[in-house]
Amino acid sequence: MERKFTFNFRLDGRREFEDGTYPIKVNVHNLATNTNRDYSFTQKYNKLNATKKDFESLWTNRFKYNNFNEVLGETTVHGRKLEIRTALKIAADKFSEIVTREDIQTCKDVVEAYKSYVDSSPHFSEDVYKGFEEKIKDLKDNDQIKTAKSYQNTLNAIYRHNTGTGFRYSDVTLQWLKKYEKKRRKTVSVDSLAIDMRNLRHIVKKAAEQSPVLLRVYPFGAGKNKYSIPSGTGKNISVSAEEIQKIIDLETNDLYMQMGRDYFVFSYLNRGMNLKDIALLKKGQTEFIRSKTEFTAKKIVPIKLTSNEILDEIVSRHSGTGKYLFDIIDDHDDAATIQKKIDNKTSSLHKQIKKMAHVLGIDSGLSFVWGRHSYTTNVHKAGVDIKAISETLGHTSLKTTENYIDSLQDENQSKIDEALGIYQQGEKDKN
C-alpha cells in the first residue's frame, strides 16, 4: 500500500532538561502537502530523553556499514541507551504500519492512531528476553526445573547470537530464524536446535496471541514464507518382547547392573514411565500423572500403576526410607535438589543399561528412554486397541479416548500384560 506519510525520530533541541537531555519526538511528514509536524508520542510514565551525543550513537548512527555501504548490523549499546533504542524500534514498527492506513488523513491522525494503538495493550511487552524470563519463572514456580533449564539454555543461546543487543518479537523474522539456524548448527545437533526453535516458537506464539500485529507476521509454520522447525535425527527405537524377556530374566551379582535392569523393567512395565515420575512415586500410590503434561494438557489423565511380583521385588531392593517409594530423593528435597538427583540417577542408569545390553547381546544403543518406545511398539504389535494404548500412555490428543479412560484400561489389561511379557505361573513354558 502506498505511503501518504513518512516519519523519523529527532531530539527537540529547544527543550533542554536539567540533566542535559532533550525529549525525543516523532517528526511526521505529509507527502501530499509537503508539511512536517513534531509530536510527543510516548506515555507520561515512559518518556524518552537523551543527550545529543547519546541520541547519535543509539539511533542516528546506529548502523554499521561495509566498504560497499551495505548495512552489516547495529552498533552495540548498553543500559539506558539500549532501552531507548529498543523502545524507538518498537515505536517505528507501529508507525510504519499506521502510515499506510487508508483512514489516516493528517499528521495528527498518525500520532493519535499510535497513542490509541499503544493504549489498547498497555501490559504487552515487545521484549523477547522478558517473555523467556516470565516463562522460566512460571516453570520454576511449578517445579518444572528441567523444562525451565531448557528455556534458560535457549535464552542464553539467543542472547549470545544477538551479541547482547535488544531483541523484539518483530525481530523474529524468517531471515533471522534462518541465520540463527545456520550459525547454531555449527555447534549443536539438529535435535538441540529443534528444542531451541520449539521453545522460541512457544514464546512468540504466546506474544502473538496478545498482539494483532505480531499475529499477522507470525513466522513459524508451513509455506514459502514461513519457518519450518527442522526434524531431529533421533528415533523412537525399541526392543522386542523377546529381548524384554531377556532383561526381565537377567540374573547378575553386579549390583549396579541389577539397578539398571530394575529401573528399566519398572519403567517398561509401567508404560515407559520416566525417571522423574518414578522418583516422585509415594508409598501406597496406585496411579500417577505424567509430570511432563501435568501443567500443559487440557485434561489430566491418571495412569494406573502396574502391580505384580516382578515389580514388588524391584521396589523391595530400592525402597526409600521416607514417604517416597524409591531411594532416589528424600522427603525434604526442594525442586532444584530433586532435579539434580534425578539427573545424577539418569547418568548412572545410562551406564549400567549400556553394560546390561552388552551382556545380553541387545542393541548397544539401549537406554532408559527406550522403555516407553518399547512398550508402545510391543503392545501395538500384539494387536492392543489403539485407544487403549493412548489411554495407558496418558495421552489426551485423541478426544475419543477420554470416554474410555475407566473401561478400556481394565478391559485390555490382560492382553497388555501378555504383550509386555508378563506371564502367569505355568504359562511361560507354553509360550
pLDDT in tens, 263-312: 999 999 998 899 999 999 999 999 988 887 666 556 677 888 999 999 99
What separation in angstroms does the CA of 62 have from each of 40, 45, 172, 233, 255? 22, 26, 19, 41, 64
**What is the pLDDT averaged over residues 403-417?**
44
Q: What is the pLDDT of residue 164?
A: 72
Min mean pLDDT across 17-26, 75-84, 183-192, 233-242 is at: 233-242
Model pLDDT, residue 166: 75
Smallest Cα–Cα separation from 131: which of 173, 167, 182, 178? 167
Residue 10: CB atoms within 10 A of its CB come to 15
**What are the backbone angles phi and psi of residue 99, rounded to the nearest 5°?**
-70, -5
User: What residues contact residue 428 under an 8 Å CB cut-off, 6+ apart?
Assistant: none
pTM over 0.95: no
Q: Please, what is the average pLDDT of the chain?
A: 83
More confident residue, 423 or 65: 65
Residue 61 grid cell: 548512527
315 is written with which cell numbers?
521396589
Backbone angles phi, psi at 254, to 5 degrees: -80, 105
**Could you tell me how many residues make up the chain?**
431
